[in-house]
Amino acid sequence: MAIEVKRLSVPAPAKINLFLHVGDRRDDGYHALQSLVGFAETGDALELSPARELKLLIEGPFAGALEAGGDNLVLKAARALTAHAGIAGGAAITLTKNLPVASGIGGGSADAAAALRGLAGLWGLKLPQDELRAVAAGLGSDVPVCVSSGAQWMEGRGERLTALDPLPAMAMVLINPGVSVATPKVFAALGARHGTGLPPPPQFAGAASLVAYLKDTANDLEAPARAIAPVIGEVLALLASQPGARLARMSGSGATCFALFDGDDDATAAARAIGEAHPQWWAVTTRIASFAA
C-alpha cells in the first residue's frame, strides 16, 4: 500500500434536505423517501495523516457531544474501507466538529463520507465514487449522498442517487434550537405524507426558479417533529419573518431549520437578530454550495 500524501484536509459540508417527501413503509422497515439534497458551505472538517493505527481526535465547538471510541462513525467508515480494500491501513484523524450532533443536517454522515474520501486519498486507493458509495451504504442511509457533497436527487432509503446540476448559490441561515429529536420517534409519529411520485427537477435557472419549485414541496417530517419539539415551530416562524427570507423549512428529521435568502446581507442580519434574541441557539450564515456531484 503506497501512501501518496503526508497530510490531507477534507471538508464535511452540512447536508440540507431542501425538501423531503415520504412514501410507504418498505419491507425492510425503512420508508421510501424522495428528496432534493443540497449542501452548505459550512460544515465539519477532517485532517488526516499517516499513522500505524487508526486513531481519532475530536475538537471544535460540538466536540463534547461525541465520543472518539470505536462506535464513532468516522472510525466505522475507516474500518469499512480497510475491509473493502483488503488492507490494514492506519491514520491519525482529527475531526473538527462545527455542526450540532444529531440535528438533521447529516453531520455524522458527512463526517463518515469525508473519512472515506480522505482515507482513500491518503492510502492511495483509486476507488470511483460508486464504489465509495457502496461502502457508505453500509454505514447509514445518509452517508452515500454525502460522498460527493454535490446536489443530488435522493430516492429509496437514501441509496438511489441522481447527480444534478449545481444549485443556485443562495444565501442561507441555519438555526438549531439545541433540542434533540430522535429520528425513529419522528417517523413513528408521521401522519400525512406526499409520497414519492415526483420526477427529478429540471436545471434551475436561478434563485427564483429554485424557490418556486420548493414552494410546491414540503418536508413531511416537519409536522411530527414539531409535535415532539414545539420549539421547531418557533424557529420556523422566526426565520420566515426575517426581511428577505424566501423560504423557511426544517431539514431532515430536525431539529435544524434553514431559510433561503436572495442576498448575503439579509441572511447575515437575520442570523444576528435571531442569535441575539436566542443566544442559546446555534445560528450561522452560509450559502448553498454550488459545486456538482
Q: Give me the active site residues, please.
A: 15, 142
DSSP letter for each residue of 149-162: -S-EEEEETTTEEE
Residue 212 C-alpha from the chain's centroid: 23
* Contact assessment for residue 166 and residue 37, using Cβ atoms and an 8 Å cutoff: no
**Amino acid type, 132:** L
Residue 182 preceded by cis peptide, ω within 30? no
| Pick from 138, 44, 47, 148: nearest CA to 91 | 47
Separation of alpha carbons 275 and 280, rounded Å: 8
**Amino acid type, 74:** V
For residue 23, the surrounding DSSP H or E stretch is strand 8-25
Separation of alpha carbons 70 and 68, rounded Å: 7
Cell of 283: 445560528
| Pick from 169, 167, 176, 175: nearest CA to 261 | 169
| Pick from 291, 290, 20: nearest CA to 172 | 290
* Contact assessment for residue 40 and residue 287, using Cβ atoms and an 8 Å cutoff: yes
| Pick from 139, 146, 74, 148: nearest CA to 112 | 74
